[in-house]
Structure 1
Amino acid sequence: MRRLLVLGAGTAGTMVVNKLRHRLARADWQITVVEPGDTHYYQPGYLFLPFGTYSPDQVVRPLRPLVADGVDLVRGEVDRVAAAENRVLLADGRSLPYDYLVIATGVTPRPDQTPGMLDGGQWRRSIFDFYTYDGALALARALDAFDGGRLVVHITDMPIKCPVAPLEFAFLADAHFRRRGMRDRVELVYATPLPGAFTKPVAAARLGSMLDERKITVEPDFLVERVDGTTLVSYDEREIPFDLLVTVPLNMGADYVARSGLGDELNLVPVDRSTLLSRAYDNIFALGDANDIPTSKAGSVAHFAVEVFTDNFVAYAAGRPMTGRFDGHANCFVESGGGRALLIDFNYDTEPLPGRYPVPALGPFRLLDEAAVNHWGKLAFRWMYWNVLLPGRPIPLPAHMSMAGKHLPHAEE
């Protein structure tokens, strides 16, 4: 009996075990997934909790029914991976051997890594995050009580989960305060370590102009060094006072990755960006947000990467070469407020471009263009997530990015 051990039952981990359970013979393979909790969270929904678009029960479900029959679910905390011994040690002393290991424990916000963010007494008083379930609910209460002043949306450093989410929050906050008739009493500031609104020129220009239109001030190249009370202070000593800070703390991989000697300075596992195979061990893979591939840490990346990985793993375990190559494909809906959103679609080599997706000329989704259909697409994805994506059912979208339907901005007529 061969043993596949998956660490983490988030988006990537759950998809992997569900897909591979249907591909690997039960008589030959034991598949086990390790997860400390008994709840699965729909993390894209966190963005909507502060604004009341989703209720808490819409983003949480019990984990066990989401994991395929025939997959062993072990509840426990990972202490470390003993890679030389092909075993994982749990915090309670249990030892789990493996033939192949998949690390899919993602990243988590680490406010403790920024001086003053946690120890200044302002956490969950004037400083909030929305990248956690509890944080998003606390922020909802803070927004309800907010009566005006300076609201700063802030990114500590890259990479982060869903890098467009802070922009979405800024756009949704603008729309939220307009609905409440108090936008003139709110100064919105977007503080980012990037030189602009996004990393790629075409999308950065489009998103930057949207911030300008909404009178959201951008503070670029802002690398926070510390938080002094209710003031952000950068390494170059710029200061941004705030009445309400919505921050994205430093995102880091799991601590056990560091204890196991498998990660970089952010506890991300270095992998081959095409096959997701560890650069240090030939029987360890890292999927989802847990690896160091140079693309967005987003659910779409996990989905497209798992599609490539599944076929590769079946071949690899049978002694055949991995012929699939993940190209860094990502697509993300970007909520812009007022019932509209953009869609961006890109990969390692191609930046987000205008056009239609997934069918050229027809869409229905519009790339880099605000439209109601994109907004409804984003809301509809929640149903797809629970009922199609997580169970590992086929989604009629190619795993690799296509240039069909896209064009350079200067080619527009």
Structure 2
Amino acid sequence: MKKLLILGAGTAGTIVANKMIRKLPARDWSIQIVDQDPLHYYQPGFLFMPFGVYGEKDVVKPKSRFLSKRVDLVMGAIDRIEPDSKRVLLEDGTKLDYDLLVVATGTTPRPEETEGMEGDDWGRNVHEFYTFEGAGKLARRLKDWQGGRLVINVAEMPIKCPVAPLEFAFLADWWLTKNGLRDKTEIQYVTPLSGAFTKPVATERLQHMLSDRRIHVETDFAIGSVDNSKKQIVSWDERTVDYDLLVTVPTNMGSDAIERSGLGDELNFVPTNKETLQADGYENIFVIGDATDVPASKAGSVAHFEAEILEENLLSAAAGKELEAKFDGHSNCFVETGYGKGMLIDFNYETEPLPGTFPFAKLGPMPLLEESRVNHWGKLMFRHVYWNALLKGWPLGIGPAMSLKGKRTDLIRQPAVVQVG
């Protein structure tokens, strides 16, 4: 019997396992998935925890609850992949063979990559919200907040969910206003990018929103260190920003097992064909979600859309056929903006977020690049969809390819034409 082995039982790995167990013939294929943590975290919920919107019961459930009983869940830490031998070694010495391998090992924040970030102020006045533990500690810190300078800093790109730091800034403005602390708090958003976001049309809109909320944006700031004694972040070009509370998004990196396997780039992300999701140089290894180096957002929606492409290509690979399904980089993200409103952005490799309506051209009901209450409720309702449909690999009614229906296509920026001669 042949084996499909999946490394990582997070969002991406769980979706793939549940999809493939329904598609690969049970008489010919078995499916095994490996993870070291028995708990599954709804990571979009971490954003809401510091502000008391979500608690532990909203974001944590057992992994086993969301995997088909026909999927063999192996609990253990991955040591390395040995592609030439077609096997994976676990840290306890277990050896797992495979015929097809899916790498879904994700990404994690690495505060140790920035000098001084894990210094004396770490966990006191320097916090992150990209982990369950970090979001909980930040929630406790905000309960004691009486005002001062709140700095939100992104260390470097790429990061998981690129809009999350912006959402934190918007929610902080809302939460501080609600608690009578906004006029006592200066909010500064410090980013290595040249604008608030990576896409021009969306950046223009988001920067206006930040300005309207009196959130100062410091751009092109490449953090080099954190000075705990002076309560400053210091850039490589020696610019400084003072903080009373620093909410950082540390450098994000892929699994150390990828580095030990010799499969990753300098950030431990696996070089991957951005269309087929096949690992570069390996016909029987595929990569999905945050573990890839593809130029798409590291977000749950991307993992969901990738899984539909990967499903087709895994079936093709299992049958010895050419890989025909192509991923276009589709990403669909709600942006919580506070005060009971939210935005929605929809884009892919080639087309940036544009104004319009989603998912239908005339009926919407969700406006794109515009604040609305329906987008806010869409963001909150997604948690139910995530636990009850998305993880189980069921179709959600939105295909993996981005549609231009309802979008202001007249705003698509055309590449400059260079005339020769």
Report the counterpart of residue 68 of structure 1 in structure 2.
Answer: 68
1:337 partnered with 2:318: no
Q: Which amino acid aligns with 2:358?
A: Y
Long gaps (5+) in structure 1: none
- Hey, what's the Cα distance between the residues in 2 that align with 1:333 and 1:172? 13
Contact 1:193–1:222 (Cα < 8 Å) also in 2? yes
Matches of 1:144 and 1:334, distance apart in 2 = 24
Task: Give the structure 2 partner of residue 88 of structure 1.
Answer: 88
Q: Provide the C-alpha distance between the structure 1 equivalents of 2:152 and 2:350, rounded to a whole number of angstroms.
A: 29
Aligned partner of 2:182 in structure 1 is 183
The CA deviation at 1:321 is: 1.3
Task: Note closer, same or farther for the CA distance 1:242–1:286 as it changes in structure 2 (3 Å cut).
Answer: same
In the alignment of these two chains, the number of paired residues is: 410
- The residue that corresponds to 1:219 in the other structure is 218
Counterparts of residues 15-34 of structure 1 (less than 5 Å): 15-34=15-34
Alignment of 1:307-322 (within 5 A): 307-322=308-323
CA distance in 2, matches of 1:103, 1:213: 42
Distance 2:409 2:65 in 1: 45
Q: Is the 8 A contact 1:354 1:409 kept in 2?
A: no
2:418 corresponds to which residue? none
Shift of 1:410: 6.0
| Contact kept in structure 2, 1:355 and 1:361, CA below 8 Å | no
Give the 3-state SS of the residue equivalent to 1:358 in structure 2. strand
Contact map agreement 1:129 1:247 (CA 8 A) in 2: yes
Aligned partners of 1:295, 1:36: CA distance in 2, in Å?
A: 26
1:281 to partner: Cα distance:
1.1
In structure 2, list runs of 5 or more residues that go unmatched.
Answer: 413-421
AA partner of residue 71 (structure 1): V
* Residue of structure 1 in register with 2:139 after alignment: 140
* 1:207 counterpart residue number: 206
- 1:340–1:370: 8 Å Cα contact kept in structure 2? yes
C-alpha deviation, 1:408, in angstroms: 4.6
Q: Who is 1:243 aligned against?
A: 244
Question: Is 1:81–1:87's contact at 8 Å kept on the other side of the alignment?
Answer: yes
Mapping of 1:2-401 within 5 angstroms?
A: 2-118=2-118, 120-229=119-228, 230-401=231-402
Q: What displacement does 1:241 show?
A: 0.8
Contact 2:80 2:261 in 1 (8 A): yes
Measured against aligned partners, the alpha-carbon deviations of 1:372-400 in whole angstroms (never above 9, x if no partner) come to: 00000000000000100001111111110
**3-state DSSP class of the match of 1:85?**
coil
For 2:409 and 2:66, the matched residues in 1 are separated by 41
1:11/1:390 contact within 8 Å kept: yes
CA contact (8 A) 2:356 2:407 kept: yes
CA-based RMSD = 0.9
Q: Which amino acid aligns with 2:25?
A: A
Cα displacement (A) at 1:37? 1.1
Q: When the two structures are superposed, what TM-score results if normalisation uses the length of structure 1? A: 0.98
Report the 3-state secondary structure (helix = DSSP H, G, I; strand = E; otherwise coil) of the residue aligned with 2:133.
helix
Q: Would the aligned equivalents of 1:353 and 1:409 in 2 still touch at CA under 8 Å?
A: no
Instruction: Out of 399-408 and 208-217, give the one that drifted further.
Output: 399-408
Q: Match of 2:308, SS?
A: helix
Provide the secondary structure at the position in 1 that maps to 2:247: strand
Instruction: State the alpha-carbon separation in 1 of the partners of residues 181 and 104 from structure 2.
Output: 43
CA contact (8 A) 2:253 2:267 kept: yes
Give 1:406's aligned residue: 407
Summarize the Cα distance change of 1:37–1:410 in structure 2 as closer, same or farther, 3 Å threshold.
closer
- In structure 1, give the amino acid aligned to 2:86: N
In 2, Cα distance between the equivalents of 1:409 and 1:189? Answer: 34
Q: Which amino acid aligns with 1:226?
A: S
**CA–CA distance in structure 2, aligned partners of residues 143 and 363 of structure 1:** 37
What is the identity, as a one-letter code, of the residue corresponding to 2:266? E
- CA–CA distance in structure 2, aligned partners of residues 74 and 64 of structure 1: 10
TM-score of the aligned structures, taking structure 2 as reference length: 0.96
Q: Secondary structure at the match of 1:22?
A: helix
CA distance in 1, matches of 2:23, 2:93: 31
Matched-pair contact (CA < 8 Å) for 2:152–2:190: yes
Indicate the residue corresponding to 2:415 in structure 1: none
Q: What letter matches 2:23 in structure 1?
A: R
CA distance in structure 2 between the partners assigned to 1:163 and 1:114 by the alignment? 19
Separation in 1 of the partners of 2:209 and 2:409? 19
TM-aligned CA deviation for residue 409 of structure 1? 7.0
Partner of 2:416: none
User: Post-superposition shift, 1:280?
Assistant: 2.0
Contact 1:110 1:252 in 2 (8 A): yes
Q: Which amino acid aligns with 1:153?
A: I
Residues in 1 aligned to 2:410 and 2:378: alpha-carbon distance in whole angstroms: 24
